[in-house]
Structure 1
């Protein structure tokens, strides 16, 4: 039987596409609805109270409209702040996104890792807990960057990020005491893997990057195992909470990447 219920991905912007990509590799026939809270973008500079109130309400509206089989909060900031409230409010499975500190610690030889996220994410106690549990023998340096989020959004809108701007943001990690020993960087914002090539080009030789996208994709595949999918791939839907000039530029790019349908919430 064919089951057309989609997987709903949610982020403040387009960062969650770094989670969609590995998911569609594992589940090529899965219908995808990608929702970007462009009216609330960016989340990383907002207060915890704002995010905790906004995200469950928006996801409630999205679930009511699109009736997904699964919701993915493809945003580290929203996940670390609002995931419990969202799970309590919705009657569908919800998968969150957490910084990939555990695999980074397993990869690191210098035992110094960097966590690169939004300002809201890197200050969360949840990150303290992950570092204590999985990287107790590592020095974990953190840097919150709103600029990299904007650069990633701009890249999909057709504005290439400058190497100088990217290098300046990475210096927020490498410029800290002990930062010269970092050999693994956790991309703790789903926007940042979209710039991984740009960051690798200006980072010191040998520095590796890791993110949670592949692990989240495996979790989605596990939770939907044995479920039916449409016989053929279905065009993805792109949903914005505000559809302005920036969003239309992004939509034009994503129309060639499997998201030809654009809607406003």
Structure 2
């Protein structure tokens, strides 16, 4: 008699066609620590960069000034990482990642002020460096405050939309979840953030605030939408390679199959 051995599979099991509810992996397994570290890094660097106002000039013909801040190219990545964490590990893990990011960001802001308060070398170079640090890092606390208010509100909304849609649809509709959550979360975040951070980067008129806010919102959403193919591919790969996710998925699929519980 020939015996056949079986080995655990990492492929998503076939479904009966019905949603099985939201399934999440364990935070203590696989890639959560890497995703968390990446989010913390992006938030801190965005806070430093956002203290600098950036102007790309005025669009000819319509007089719209292209105003943003120095962290514009980084911050959308925080939402991409938030989407991935929520989809894989659930809203509780996403809240932990958000909270951790800004605790570390506040610690960084306090550290900047301690560095500024320390007495510099009394020579010309030391005094020049002290003045540069005061100008560059001094306003960062305002950006951190803006980020705390905006990102906590926007990312919390983003996470809730993803998790609630997943509760209704199960593994289906990943792209729809990413599209819907990105627009709502970024809108709330951008309005709050720009209203507070505009003081730090030197915006003084309502027109400049409107241009800064509108451009920031459109840019962030377009970047997130453009990255959705990559984001969804990364999510699907992480789901396939996370053993706890696959275990939960098999259990949920078995519970939803005909004859379960007989």
* TM-score of the two chains, using structure 2 as the length reference: 0.31
Q: Which has the larger radius of gyration?
A: 2
* TM-score of the two chains, using structure 1 as the length reference: 0.31
Bigger helix fraction: 2
Relative contact order (alpha carbons < 8 A, sep ≥ 6): 1 or 2 greater? 2
